[in-house]
Each structure stands twice: as structure tokens, then as C-alpha cells.
Homo-oligomer: A and B are copies of this chain.
Amino acid sequence: MKVKVLNKHEVKASLNMISVLEKVEEVYCLKARQKAGLWPLIFHEFQPEIADMDIKSGYINEYDVYGLKVVSWFSENRDKNLPMLFGTTLMFDMKTGAPIGILDAEHVTGMRTGAAGAIGAKFLARARSEDLLIVGTGHQAAFQIAATLIAMQNIKRVRICNPRNAEQGVKFVSTIKDILNLEFLSSFQADDEVYDRIKAKFEVQFIAEPSLEKAVSQSDIIITVTPSRKPLIMKSWLKEGVHISCMGSDLQGKQEIESCILKDAKIFVDDMAQAINVGELEIALKTGTISEDNIMGEIGELILSEKVGRTNDSEITIFDSTGIALQDLIVSKLAIDIAKEKNIGQEVDL
């Protein structure tokens, strides 16, 4: 049985953000239509706050695939000259059970998470939103920017704030244009029209903002990508009608925004059970600040217009994205298909 294997570089060569946005949007809808499903999340801490791993798994009927992603985080790898994060995705054919692909999961995770934050903004933010704020300057930040600039039509300014280290924001802004060109724009080189359109979208102003309060108060769309365990964003700082995509909270105990923000906001999630257990909502639910009734529904239901999202320009909207296996599976399937087409990647005999 020949099985395709794609390492990080081979995955990169097979994906671009436009198609990833399409696929992630599609799989949210498939989930809402019960054409795809998740299996229970497995999470294990080898050493609390030092090393852990999780296994996310599920299936997509319409694509005839099922599979899983193992993500391991070993913070002490820093001292070993190794990456702190390892991710591996394993995919199977739902018609036969045969393995069809083994992929390094890092780039898919980056792309599908970027797409998720942007889809939250696309379907919940005010369409005329001009000011985007990214909170956090880690690996995810550039993916969020690329995806949101592509998904939205009127962004003029992107603020960056690292609430723990303002210098990181300055550093990030000094390199972001090169990163967008090298890592995201370059994947459209084959098509001049698309290339020029995305290039124009990437030509916005980037601002390193040391004060999180000031940055928040100026922003129409906020995307949080931090590992925070206490609220960073306060309700009193928010601009009227803001949208927040909360991406950082994907484990118990994580929290990025003040719980009371959730109380009066229109909240959508990627997966109900997972958001309740490990999402931004977790702590607000546990402390009773909100109840499950405060959750409007899953993002797929919103995209399909089965649920109503924003109805005016003054309400606050939230997308609580915990990251689901279906995003990984649909994007990995795309990467495998493209890699086969372009003859990229390795093959093993399993």
C-alpha cells in the first residue's frame, strides 16, 4: 500500500490561503449539516505546563476521509535545539480504511487556524471594518493577518500588540511585509490576476502598538493568539460593534478576554462541546458569568444562515475557536490531492 508522506516544506508547496479559507468554511458547514463529525479529544499532560500532547480526530463523509492529528508540546526542547511543537496527521480512506497520507501538521495547523480566525471576522464583524488588531506575536500572528486580509474587503490598518513585551511587536512589524510576501503571496505566483489582487490586499499599514488598551479601543476586529491564562482584554476598552475571534484558548484554564465581555456578546463557537470544555468560554461558564444559553450556535450554522449572527453595528460578536480535527483533515486532504497532482512529496510502502 503506497502512502503519501508530506513534510512541512512539501505541505507548504501544496497549499495557499485562498483555498484553505474555502475548505475550512466548507467543513464548518459540513459539520453543521452532520456530514462530518468529531471523536473525543484526548489530552495528556506529561508534566503540567512543561510538556503535553493531544489527539484530535474525526471524519468527513463527503470527502471520504477520517483521521487524526497528534500535537505534542515540549517546552524544554528550547534547550535542545529542537522545535517545541511537533504535529503529525494521519489520514485514512473512509471507503476502504486504507491509510492515504502522513503529514507534518505544523503548516496545516497554522493555515487552518489563520483561516478560522478570519472566517469568524468574515461572518461576524462589520463588513466595513477597517482596523484589525492581532494580540500576540507568536507563530500564529502572520497566519491570522494573511487570512483576514484575504477574507475581508476594507481593512486599512493592522495593529500588533504583544501585551507582555512591546518590543516583540516592533520586531514583528519590521518583518511582517516580507513574511506575507514570502510565505503567503508567493503561493499565487501562477495566476497574475489573483497575485495582484492579494498583493493589493496585503498593502495595508502595520502598526506596533505597545498599549493593549489603546490598540483595543481603536479596533473593529480583534484576533487573540496568546497562550494567556488570565484575561488580557477588558470590556471597558472595547469599541462599539467590535468583533473578537478568540483563538488562543484551546486548553482548560486558558483565557484571553474578560468574562463579562461574553455576557452581552453574540457568541459562536467551532464545536459546542469543545468550546465549553476548553475554549474561551470555559471559565465564564464555570464561574456562572454566562450559561450555555449565551452561545448562539456553531459557526457552520451561522455560515449556512441557520442561525442569526450580527444584526446591527453596535453589538459585540465573538467567535470562540478551539480548533477542530475537521479543519486539519479537510486541509490535509487538499494538500495530499495537490501534492499528488504536482508530484510533490514522498511515498512509503506501508
Q: Give A contacts to B, CB under 8 Å.
A: 1, 5, 7, 39-40, 42, 44, 46, 51, 53, 55, 57, 59, 66, 68, 70, 72-74, 77, 80, 82, 85-86, 88, 90, 92, 94-99, 102, 104, 346, 348-350
Q: Are A68 and B66 in contact (CB under 8 A)?
A: no
Distance in angstroms from A48 CB to nearest chain B CB is: 15
Report Cα–Cα, A72/B104, bound state, in Å.
22
What CA separation (Å) do A77 and B40 show in the bound complex?
27
Contact (Cβ within 8 A) A68 B39: no
A38 to chain B, nearest CB (A): 10
For the residues of A in contact with B, the DSSP-based class is strand
Most chain B CB atoms below 10 A, which of A7, A57, A77, A349: A349
Once A42-B57, A59-B44, A68-B70 are accepted as A-B contacts, the answer to whether A350 and B97 lie under 8 Å apart by CB is no
Contact B82 A88 (CB under 8 A): no
Q: Which residue from B57, B88, B348 sits with its C-beta under 8 Å from A99?
A: B88
Neighbouring B residues of A68 by C-beta, 8 Å = 55, 68, 70
Contact of A349 with B350 in the complex, beta carbons under 8 Å: no
Can you list 12 residue pairs at the A/B interface with Cβ under 8 Å?
A5-B350, A7-B349, A39-B42, A39-B55, A46-B59, A51-B97, A55-B57, A68-B70, A72-B98, A88-B90, A88-B99, A102-B348
The interface centre, meaning the residue of A77, A94, A104, A348 with most chain B CB atoms within 10 A of its CB, is A348
A57: chain B residues at CB < 8 Å are: 42, 55
Contact present for B350 and A7 (CB under 8 Å) = yes
- Most B CB atoms within 10 A — which of A82, A96, A99? A96
| Nearest CB in chain B to that of A59: its residue | B44
CB distance from A39 to the nearest CB of B (A): 5
Q: Which residues of B contact A346 (CB under 8 A)?
A: 348-349
Q: Is the CB of A86 within 8 A of B92?
A: yes
Point out the residue from B42, B97, B348 that lies within 8 Å of A5, measured CB to CB: B348
Nearest B residue (CB) for A52: B97
Closest 7 pairs between A and B when the two form their complex, measured CB to CB: A72-B97, A74-B97, A86-B97, A5-B348, A39-B42, A88-B99, A7-B349
Q: Point out the residues of chain B lying under 8 angstroms from A349, CB to CB.
A: 7, 346
> Are A82 and B102 also in contact (CB < 8 A) when A39-B55, A42-B40, A92-B53 are?
no
Residues of B within 8 A of A74 (CB): 95-97
A87 nearest CB across to chain B (Å): 9
Of all chain B residues, which has the CB nearest A98?
B86
Residues of B within 8 A of A102 (CB): 102, 348, 350
The residue on B at minimum CB distance from A348 is B5
Within the complex, the shortest CB–CB distance from A287 to chain B, in Å, comes to: 27
User: What is the chain B residue whose CB lies nearest that of A37?
Assistant: B44
Q: How far is the CA of A72 from the CA of B88 in the complex (A)?
A: 19
* Other 7 A-B pairs with CB < 8 A, given A5-B5, A7-B349, A88-B350: A1-B86, A44-B59, A53-B66, A53-B97, A73-B97, A86-B98, A102-B350
